Amino acid sequence: MLKMRILYVALLWLPCAGSRAFAACPDRDSLYGPRVVYTLPSNDPFSSAKSHVLVSGDYDGDGLLDCCVLNRLSPHICILRGNGDGTFGTPEAYVLPLSASSLYEGMCQGDLDGDGDLDFAAVDFYGCKIAVVFNDGNAVLSPAVIYPTGGGSYPHGILAEDMDGDGDLDLVVTYDIAATVAIWKNDGKGAFTLFNLVSTQGMRPQNVGLGDFDGDGDLDYAAANSEWTDGGGPPNVTVFRNDGTGRMAFVEKILTPATSAPCSSHARDLDGDGFLDLVVGSWTDESLCVLWGDGTGRFSTPLVLVGPPTSTAVEPAIADLDQDGALDIVVALFEPMAINPSRFALMIFWGDGARGFTAGPFLYAGVNPRFPVAEDFDRDGDLDIASIQWYAGTVEVFENLCASGPQFMRGDPNADGRRDISDAVTVLRYLFASAPAPSCMDGADINDSGGIDIADAVTLLGYLFSSLPPPPPPFTACGSDPTEDTLGCDAFPPCD
């Protein structure tokens, strides 16, 4: 089968390096289309609180981005396979180990066993355990391997990163009630051993943000301490420095607004000075805190970005959404807004790259949205947004409407608005009968190889007459070429 696969590296944020000007995009307030909703299966008849964590990656090795959701009280992992055009297939559920007290609070992904595909690790809060699930490379998941975290630990958040510099991914786990961060070392094959327990110097840590804060080449972390308990102190973020082996030393404590309860921490260079900054979400109020890093491992007092009253700015995602070269922040408003009590939303803060942010539009979502991710799900060169709806068990996708180049439909080189045998003939006549070049050469590149040859005609004929997969996007609707090549598109009337 003649098929070219595009290798896609899934990153949380992907600047476009000036490949497209913002002027090509709609007005910022109109940059995203309405939500498309995917409902997840549930094996839990007792509770409606299902979706809890959303991540994205290529889980089946087809070069297309998929989504993965951790369900909280009906404990399973759901994979939605991406179709490459911004749509997803039917969710596939994999059940996690269940006990009478199970409450899965956190999940991460990474190549835990070194075989080249993405695996998962989830934490059971009341069950006090870590469940590691391996991927066979085709999004078929193994039964979970269980690591008890000990009574009274109550694990809440988890990340997979190389904390000791040996080239494999370790697990960094926040123990909520125990107020510690645990580092579980990987043996390189996906087996984990508890290596280090570090007090967070604050109560009720929810998650940590990881990054090289001091520029010494290893990963440090900042814990979001909610202090969400009787007798808790002022809410705060505590910063720790790694000695390169996974042993952590306390650096400083930074207070956040008194009404906040830090629940998430993400490290990115927001102002382009080469030093990592922190973005911290809150579980109890509308404050989103930005802490500027100085490159030595220390951070400024928070710049507070404020959402609408009565909302809570929980988990942010950080990406250049409008393609102006500066990182923006999209945050889930978990509680309804006083300005419209019946509406829940995602909210965007547009960054200017110079420590300034402008409050942007609301993307109206279902009840209690959480865990937004920004990825190019439809491969058109801009970043779409997906989130989960916590109570209803859904994934919601918002398409980025920014146009990255001339609009066309692949597989229609004669530009008549249809894909049929005459299009294959058009390619063959151009190649072998000295016919004029199609006005949209990208439309004639049917297998998206970056060139025009007989394989393009064969690809279209295989789709039309042999039930082979459709050509890559844009195929079912007008769109821009997601792949950089030397071809162009001078005119394509059906998309004008």
pLDDT digits (tens, 9 = 90+) for 42-70: 654 434 456 789 999 999 999 999 999 99
Residue 189: other Cβ atoms inside 10 A: 10
Helix axes 454-465, 421-432, angle to 10 degrees: 170
Cα(12)–Cα(383) distance, rounded to whole angstroms?
10
Cα(136)–Cα(111) distance, rounded to whole angstroms?
11
Query: Given a cut of 60, is residue 2 above it in pLDDT?
Result: no
Cα(420)–Cα(439) distance, rounded to whole angstroms?
17
HSE-up of residue 303 (Cα within 13 Å, Cβ side): 17
Q: Residue 396: its pLDDT value, please?
A: 94
Q: Residue 404: its pLDDT value, please?
A: 61
What percent of the chain lies above the pLDDT cut of 70?
A: 92
DSSP state of 24: G
Sign of the Cα torsion 329, 330, 336, 337 reads positive
pTM of the model: 0.79
Mark out the alpha helices in 323-445 (DSSP H runs). 421-432, 441-444
Residue type, 387: S
**pLDDT per residue as tens digits for the range 395-405:** 999 999 986 66
Q: Residue 138: its pLDDT value, please?
A: 96
pLDDT, greater one: 2 or 462: 462
HSE-up of residue 365 (Cα within 13 Å, Cβ side): 36
Q: Residue 403: its pLDDT value, please?
A: 63
Query: Given a cut of 60, is residue 92 above it in pLDDT?
Result: yes
Residue spans of beta strands (DSSP E) within 390-439? 394-398
The answer to whether residues 346 and 337 touch, using CB atoms and an 8 Å cutoff, is: no
Query: Given a cut of 80, is residue 458 above it in pLDDT?
Result: yes
**pLDDT per residue as tens digits for the range 228-247:** 876 789 999 999 999 999 99
Locate 257 and state its tokens.
Answer: 């607004």
pLDDT tier at 174 (50, 70, 90 boundaries)? very high
pLDDT, greater one: 24 or 334: 334
